[in-house]
Amino acid sequence: MKRLLVSTTILAFSAATVASAQMTAVGDGEGQVDIVAWPGYVERGETDAAFDWVTRFEEATGCKVNVKTANTSDEMVALMNEGGFDLVTASGDASLRLVAGKRVQAINTDLIPSWANVDDRLKDASWFTVDGVHYGVPYQWGPNVLMYNTEVFPEAPTSWAVVFEPMDLPDGKPNKGRVQAYDGPIHIADAAQYLMAHKPELGITSPYELNEDQYKAALDLLRQQRELVSRYWHDAFIQMDDFKNEGVVASGSWPFQVNLLKSEGLPISSTIPEEGATGWADTTMMHVDAAHPNCAYKWMEHTLSSNLQSDLSVWFGSNPVTPASCTDGSGAQTAEGCTANGMDDFEKIRFWTTPVANCAQGEGACVPYYRWVSDYIGVIGGR
Amino acid sequence: MTGTAAHPARGPGDRLTGLFWRRPKLLTALLIAPPLLWLGVVYVGSLVALLIQSFYSIDRFSGIVVKEFTLRTYAELLIPSNFDVIVRTVTMAAAVTLASVVVAFPVAFFAARHAKGRWKAVFYLGIMLPLWSSYLVKVYAWKLILAKEGIVTWAAEGIGAGNLLNAVLALPVIGGNSLSTSYIGTFLVFLYVWLPYMILPMQASLERVPTSMLEASADLGAGGWRTFRSVILPLALPGVIAGSIFTFSLTLGDYIIPQIIGSSRFFIGQTVYSLQGTAGNIPLAAAFAVVPIAIMLVYLTVARKMGAFDAL
C-alpha cells in the first residue's frame, strides 16, 4: 500500500501541482491565526504552566493564536464548513471528508522548511494525501493500546484474546466482568483486526473495509464479548475510575489513561499485542478560504520545528510526527516516553478511517459506517 | 418656555405612545412577537424539521439520505435491536416514576401536613439542595458510591449482607457485576436525581387538601387507611400526576446517566446521539426522537383529563 502510494505520488506530482492553487511564498503575518482543535491540543500554559507551545510562537511571529475547541470530528467538519477559521487538527474520519468537500487547500510543503523532518512513514499517508497532493501537515498520532493491571498480569498479555474470548486470567479467576471495551462503533474494527489474525479464512485485509460475511463474523465476536463486559467505556476518566473501583483489569485504551494511572502509582501498564492495534492520526489542515494564510503557514512550520511535538506528546500520551522530537530535548519527551506511547509500533497500527460502502473490495461491497452504528447499539443491547 | 407650556414639544417617545394609544393592537402584536417567533420558529419549527427528517430514509448501500417520504424508517424502529431500546427506556421511565411516587409521598405528606415553621423551611431546603449542585457531579458521585469497591458494597459486607447484595446482583436482566454496572444502579440514580421534581408538586397538592375534609372523614368513622384512600389520594392525584410528568419525561430523554452508570445498553437519548453525526443516519435518529414526543403527548392528554395541570 505504502509503495503504491509513493509511486503514484511521483506520477501525480507534476500534474497535480498545476491544478491546485497552492501558495508560492509566505509573506508577513496577518496578526492572527484561527485554529479549530481537539481539547488539550493547543496549550498556552494556562492549564499547566509546563505545557506551552503557543506563547513563543506569538512572540516570534506576531500572529495571535485563537483556538476554538471541538469535541467530535463532526463538529470540526461543521465548523470548517461554516468558515472563518484558518486551520483544523482533523482526525482520519474527518480529513478526507474535508478534502472531498473542498473545504481545505493543498499545502505547498516547500514553504514549510521542517517538512523534511516529518516521519517518512507519515509523509504520504492516505488520510491527507489525495492523488499525490498534500492537504495538510501531520500533527500527532497515537495507538489504541491494551491497558492491563500488572498485579493480575505479571507479564504483558500477548493477544487481544483476553478481552474477546472467555478465559481464566493469570490470577486464576475468569475474565468475565473484569474486561472492558470501547462503546463507539469503531470498536467493530478492533474485532475485525483480531479476526484478521485468528480467522484468516475470512480474508479481511483492512479492519475498516468489511464485506457482509466479514462484518457478520466481527459482530459475532462482539456478541461473545458482550457476555464478558459489564460496562463499555466512553469517557477516559470513567474508564480510569473503573480500573480503580470496579475491578476492571484489562481493556483497550489510550496511552493518555495509561500514563495518568501510572503517574498515580497504580499497577497499570499497556502493550500492543501480536495482532496489532488500531490508532488515530491527526493532520493540521488549512481552510480553502483562510483569511490569514501567512500566519497559518508559519503555524504549520511551528508545529514541526518547536517544542510542540515533544511536549504535546507528553501532555496527550501521543507520538510526535517528527521522530527527532523524541530525543532532541526540544521538550520534555524522551526516547522511553515515545516507546511507551507506541512510537516503535507504527507498522502494527491500522489508522482509523471512516468505513464507506465503496471500498477496495468493490463498489458497494463494504458495510458503511451508519450500519456499524445501529448494529453496535444492538450488540451492546444483547442482540 | 412661554408657548410650550400649553403644547409641549412632542418627542419621538410621545409620538410612539400616541400611536400605541390609537392602535392598541399594534402594541400587543409587538409585545408578543418575540415569544411567538421563539415558539413558532425556533421551537415548533425545529420540531417540524425533525418530523420531516423522520419520514426520509437512508439508502442501504451508499448511506446517503433519500429525501422521499416513506414510512420505512419508522418500520426500522420495530426491528428487535431498536425496539429493545424503546422498551428499555419506557420501562425504566415507568419504574422510576412509580418508585418516585412511593418514596416521595411520605416525604411530601410530612412536609405538607406535619412540618411547621422552621421545620418546613428545613424540608424545603433539604429537597431543593440537591438541585443546586451540578447534575454531573451527583451522577459521578453515585458512580463511586455504587462501585464494586465502593461504600455500598463495603457497608453491605460490614453488616453481613454481602451475600444478599450478591444475590440481588445475580438476578437476571436487572443484575450485573456490581451495582454501578447494572440496571439497578441506573434506576437508583434516576430515582435520586428526579425525586425532587416529584416531591414538590406532590407537596403543593397535599397542602391544598382541606383539613376539614379529613375531620369529616374521621367523624364519619373512617380509619387512617380509609381516609388516605378515599380522601387524600384522590385530592392529591393531580399533584402526583404533575410530578410523574417530570420524572417520566426526564427519564425518557436522559442520555447521560445510562452512559455513566449501568450496563452500557443504549437508551433512546444515547441512540439519537450516536445515529447522527458521522453515522449520518439522521432519519432514524429523528424517528427515535419522535418516540418520546409521541409517548409524552399521550401521557399529557391523559394527565390533563385527570386534572394534573390544576396543581401547577
CATH fourth-level superfamily of A2-142+280-343: Periplasmic binding protein-like II (3.40.190.10)
Task: Write the residue in B84, B147, B275 that is nearest to A381 by C-beta.
Answer: B84
Cβ-defined contact of B281 to A373 (cutoff 8 Å): yes
Pairs of CB atoms within 8 A across A/B: 111
Residue A2 forms contact with B (CB below 8 Å): no
In a domain, B73, yes or no: no
User: Which SS3 state, helix, strand or coil, does residue B3 take?
Assistant: helix
From residue B203, how far is each of A76, B14, B110, B118, B224 by CA, in Å? Answer: 47, 49, 9, 17, 19
Q: What pLDDT score was predicted for residue A21? A: 65
A-interface mutation test, from B169, B278, B281, B288, most A Cβ less than 10 A away: B278
Q: Is the pLDDT of residue A15 over 60?
A: no
In a domain, B204, yes or no: yes
Counting Cα atoms < 13 Å in the Cβ hemisphere of B250 gives 22
Q: A380: Cβ–Cβ under 8 A, 6 or more apart, which residues?
A: A183, A226, A232, B264, B265, B266
pLDDT range class, residue B61, cuts 50, 70, 90? low
Measured in angstroms, the CA of B70 and the nearest CA of chain A are apart by: 19
Cβ-defined contact of B144 to A241 (cutoff 8 Å): yes
Q: Which residues pair with A140 in a beta bridge?
A: A282
Residues B117 and B40 in one domain: no
User: Which SS3 state, helix, strand or coil, does residue A362 take?
Assistant: strand
Residue B257's φ and ψ, nearest 5 degrees, are -60, -50
Cβ-defined contact of A185 to B279 (cutoff 8 Å): yes
Domain-wise residue ranges, chain A: 2-142+280-343, 143-278+353-380
Quote the CA–CA distance of B15 and A118 in Å, as a whole number: 71
Q: Which residues of B touch A241 (CB under 8 A)?
A: 143-144, 147
| Structure ipTM over 0.85, yes or no | no
Q: What pLDDT score was predicted for residue A18? A: 36
Cα-Cα end-to-end distance for chain B: 56
Q: What is the DSSP letter of A206?
A: B
Q: What pLDDT score was predicted for residue B246? A: 93
Query: For residue A269, what is its C-alpha cell?
Result: 501498564
Residues B99 and B16 in one domain: no
Measured in angstroms, the CA of A109 and the nearest CA of chain B are apart by: 30
Quote the CA–CA distance of B155 and B148 in Å, as a whole number: 12
CB interface of A with B, residues 239-268, below 8 Å: 241, 244-247
pLDDT range class, residue B8, cuts 50, 70, 90? low
For chain B, how many structural domains are there in total?
A: 2
Q: What is the DSSP letter of B232?
A: I
Residue A185 forms contact with B (CB below 8 Å): yes
Identify the helix (H) or strand (E) that includes residue A64: strand A64-69
Quote the CA–CA distance of A100 and A97 in Å, as a whole number: 5
Cβ-defined contact of B265 to A381 (cutoff 8 Å): yes
Residue B153 forms contact with A (CB below 8 Å): no
pLDDT range class, residue B6, cuts 50, 70, 90? low
Residues B131 and B27 in one domain: no
Measured in angstroms, the CA of A71 and the nearest CA of chain B are apart by: 12
Q: Which residues of B touch A230 (CB under 8 A)?
A: 176-178, 181, 263
Residues B126 and B181 in one domain: yes
| Pairing mode of beta strands A145-149, A179-180 | unpaired
Domain extent for B175? 80-311
Q: B310: Cβ–Cβ under 8 A, 6 or more apart, which residues?
A: B238
In a domain, B110, yes or no: yes
**Are residues A278 and A188 in contact, defined by beta-carbon separation less than 8 angstroms?**
no
Mean pLDDT of chain B: 88
In a domain, B139, yes or no: yes
Q: For the beta carbon of residue A187, count every other beta carbon within 10 angstroms.
A: 23
Query: For residue B205, what is its C-alpha cell?
Result: 397538592
Residue B257 forms contact with A (CB below 8 Å): no
Q: For the beta carbon of residue B58, count every other beta carbon within 10 angstroms.
A: 24
In a domain, B70, yes or no: no
Quote the CA–CA distance of B230 and A95 in Å, as a whole number: 67
Which position has the grid cell 470498536? Answer: A187
Q: What pLDDT score was predicted for residue B95? A: 97
Task: Write the residue in A235, A245, A370 that is nearest to B58 by C-beta.
Answer: A370
What's the average model confidence in pLDDT over A362-375? 88
Quote the CA–CA distance of B299 and B312 in Å, as a whole number: 16
pLDDT tens sequence across B179-225: 999 999 999 999 999 999 999 999 999 988 888 988 999 999 888 88
Q: Where do runs of H (alpha helix) occur along chain A?
A: 2-19, 55-61, 73-82, 92-100, 161-164, 187-198, 212-228, 236-245, 255-263, 293-305, 308-316, 335-340, 369-380
DSSP per-residue letters across A221-263 = HHHHHHHHBSS-B-SHHHHHHHHHHS---EEEE-HHHHHHHHH
In a domain, B62, yes or no: no
Quote the CA–CA distance of A294 and A300 in Å, as a whole number: 10
Cβ-defined contact of A231 to B144 (cutoff 8 Å): no
Q: What pLDDT score was predicted for residue A355? A: 86
Residue B82 forms contact with A (CB below 8 Å): yes
pLDDT tens sequence across B103-124: 999 999 988 888 888 888 888 8
Query: For residue A115, what is its C-alpha cell?
Result: 517538512
Find the length of chain A.
Answer: 383
Measured in angstroms, the CA of B168 and the nearest CA of chain A are apart by: 16
pLDDT tens sequence across A47-83: 888 899 999 999 999 999 999 988 777 788 888 888 8
Q: Structure pTM?
A: 0.80
Q: Is the pLDDT of residue B280 over 80?
A: no
Residues B16 and B146 in one domain: no
| CATH, range A143-278+353-380 | 3.40.190.10
Q: A103: Cβ–Cβ under 8 A, 6 or more apart, which residues?
A: A77, A80, A81, A287, A288
Residue A353 forms contact with B (CB below 8 Å): no
Cβ-defined contact of B259 to A234 (cutoff 8 Å): yes
Residue B274 forms contact with A (CB below 8 Å): yes
Measured in angstroms, the CA of B166 and the nearest CA of chain A are apart by: 14
Cβ-defined contact of B178 to A247 (cutoff 8 Å): yes
Q: What pLDDT score was predicted for residue B13? A: 85
Task: Write the residue in A72, A369, A383 that is nearest to B84 by C-beta.
Answer: A383
Residues B297 and B248 in one domain: yes
Q: What pLDDT score was predicted for residue B308? A: 67
Identify the helix (H) or strand (E) that includes residue B104: helix B80-109
CB interface of B with A, residues 83-122, below 8 Å: 84-85, 88
Cβ-defined contact of B266 to A382 (cutoff 8 Å): no
Q: Is the pLDDT of residue B311 over 60?
A: no
Q: Which residues of B touch A247 (CB under 8 A)?
A: 148-149, 177-178
Query: For residue A249, what is its C-alpha cell?
Result: 483489569
Cβ-defined contact of B147 to A246 (cutoff 8 Å): yes
Q: Which residues of A touch B259 (CB under 8 A)?
A: 183, 234-235
As a whole-number percent, the residues of chain A with pLDDT over 90 amount to 63
Q: What pLDDT score was predicted for residue A53? A: 94
Measured in angstroms, the CA of B43 and the nearest CA of chain A are apart by: 22
- Supply the CATH number for residue B202's domain: 1.10.3720.10
B151-158 helix and B135-146 helix, angle to the nearest 10 degrees: 40
pLDDT tens sequence across A294-353: 999 999 999 999 999 999 999 888 999 999 999 988 888 999 989 888 898 898 899 988
In a domain, B44, yes or no: yes
**Are residues A303 and A118 in contact, defined by beta-carbon separation less than 8 angstroms?**
no
**Are residues A62 and A31 in contact, defined by beta-carbon separation less than 8 angstroms?**
yes
Residues B96 and B176 in one domain: yes
Q: Of the candidates B213, B224, B187, which has an alpha carbon nearest to the alpha carbon of residue B103?
A: B187
Q: Which amino acid is located at A246 in the chain? A: E
Q: Which residues of B touch A232 (CB under 8 A)?
A: 264
pLDDT range class, residue A354, cuts 50, 70, 90? confident
Q: What pLDDT score was predicted for residue A17? A: 39
From residue B38, how far is each of B11, B32, B42, B43, B141 by CA, in Å? Answer: 32, 10, 5, 6, 37
Query: For residue B57, what is its C-alpha cell?
Result: 430514509
Q: Which amino acid is located at A67 in the chain? A: V
Residue B248 vs residue B276, higher pLDDT: B248
**Are residues A63 and A31 in contact, defined by beta-carbon separation less than 8 angstroms?**
yes
Q: What is the DSSP letter of A334?
A: -
Cβ-defined contact of B177 to A177 (cutoff 8 Å): yes
Residue B77 forms contact with A (CB below 8 Å): no
Residues B250 and B133 in one domain: yes
Q: What pLDDT score was predicted for residue A2? A: 41
Residue A173 forms contact with B (CB below 8 Å): no
